[in-house]
Amino acid sequence: MKRIQLNYILVGAVALLLALALWPAIPWHTNQNDQLDRILSRGELRISTLNSPLTYYTTQTGAGGLDYELAQRFAAYLGVKLVVTPRRSIDELFDDLDDKRADLVAAGLIYNTERLARFRAGPAYYSVSQQLVYRQGSVRPKNIDALKGRLAVASGSAYISTLKQLKEGKHPDLTWESSSDLSSRELLEQVADGKLAYSIGDSVTIGLLQRIHPQLAVAFDITEEEPVTWYFPRGGNDSLYAAMLDFFSQMMEDGSLARLEEKYLGHVGSFDYVDTRTFLAAIDSTLPALQPLFEKYARQIDWKLLAVIAYQESHWDPTATSPTGVRGLMMLTRATAAGLGVGDRLDSEQSIQGGALYLERLMAKVPDTIPPDERIWFALAAYNMGYGHMLDARRLTKAQQGNPDSWVDVKQRLPMLSQRRYYTQTAYGYARGQEAYNYVENIRRYQASLVGYLEERQKKAAQQAALDAEYAQAYPAVPAAEALAQ
């Protein structure tokens, strides 16, 4: 009884401390300096962010991004509406906090002690290292003292603090430019294009950008892993920070944070320069002829995802054949093709139609308990190694106290299906689980490359069209008859 009583006292003490921390957030407690109370009173959580595939973006189907989804869930936790204001630069983000146009800056920013004099940092939700980048093919600098050329970073970024520390320490000759016109991403793109010798970025952003700009190369890490956080104004009480702590604690406990990180960061792994360049070249040379077929038969998924599945299978070679007898763009077995009504596996349209239908059937079989945005990864694992083996991976995950409905948990168990100590306990036995793991991860990386590359190409085409229109307006065409008369 003594031990139980002691536990109750401990729980009671923790509850009391939590209540005191969250007291300012209780609706009937009002305070003019209460940040949370102002948010609740207006019914809006206002955030400022940066446009990027990682933090916040908009498409025809809606908005996305890790910071956007986190902020959306935080707004729901508070019971208010989310209002998003995208900005072009980091300086503009903090101007919004100073001018009370935003309650939070949620933009994947690195924790920076220099900002703490004016702002507070929220809980960390992932970590990155700062890396120096150069263009592939040029001389790789081994250290800071070996830099020969322009180094530029975005104004307001944490990279400036890092450079100041380096200069004040062992590198007094270090110089750099601070750009207020170009964002960190745009500076990285300038390095990839050969317009700038060096810049600094965070490891995750660089990893994502390399899928579109493989010329972007990492010279070395400048810092160890550092936390990424939200920022909000100083002043008032701890009500907003307490609510944030509770929110992130719940997200970690129920696995929601891990799932979001898997969705946006899970495929940011090893980078293959040659493979990425080969794929981007194939987008220009081979994809245009096949794109109408992918668009026609991708009914339940985006056509670009169906296209990269085909690339992973056959590298868009309609005559591809494996030693095991699978053939065609979607690499169908003879038996699978017959069951799908595919008469000629080497016919591009029949293969794409059959592969899309087979994937639809697998997605329909995936348990309903799996979240909609993760069902495709389970289906693809089944596409590669068989539906039964995918179920074995889920059972193994559950047996090891993981979540069988979470892809981040299940994918870690896939390689175990080829290990005797595990597959002897499964219903369907041995499977090439590591191959299935690599299969899905490769597809996700190719998808990031294709989506980003097409968006980049579209953006450049729009910029060129605008320049052409501006030129045409400045220099209108002279009619032929008038030109002859002159």
pLDDT along the chain (486 residues), means of 10: 33 41 44 80 97 90 94 98 96 96 97 93 96 97 95 96 95 95 95 97 96 96 97 88 96 94 87 95 98 96 97 97 92 94 96 96 96 95 96 97 96 96 95 96 96 90 80 71 57
Distance (Å) of CA 198 to CA 121, 224, 395: 29, 19, 48
Give pLDDT, residue 15.
37
Give pLDDT, residue 30.
44
Give pLDDT, residue 165.
96
Give pLDDT, residue 99.
95
Give pLDDT, residue 367.
95
Contact 307, 294 (CB under 8 A): yes
1.10.530.10, 3.40.640.10, 3.90.180.10, 1.10.287.1080: CATH of 273-443 = 1.10.530.10
- In the annotation, is 313 catalytic? yes
Question: In the Cβ-directed half-sphere of 126, how many Cα atoms lie within 13 Å?
Answer: 25
Ramachandran quadrant class, 36 (left: phi over 0; alpha: psi -120 to 50; beta: rest): alpha
Residue keyed to tokens 């693809």: 380
Q: Could you say which of 226, 262, 313, 374 is catalytic?
A: 313
Distance (Å) of CA 3 to CA 6, 8, 10, 11, 54: 5, 9, 11, 12, 48
* CATH code at 124-228: 3.40.190.10
Domain extents in the chain = 124-228, 273-443
- Give yes or no on whether 124-228 and 273-443 have one common fold: no
Give pLDDT, residue 33.
56
Q: Which of 368, 372, 419, 373 is nearest to 392 (CA)?
A: 419
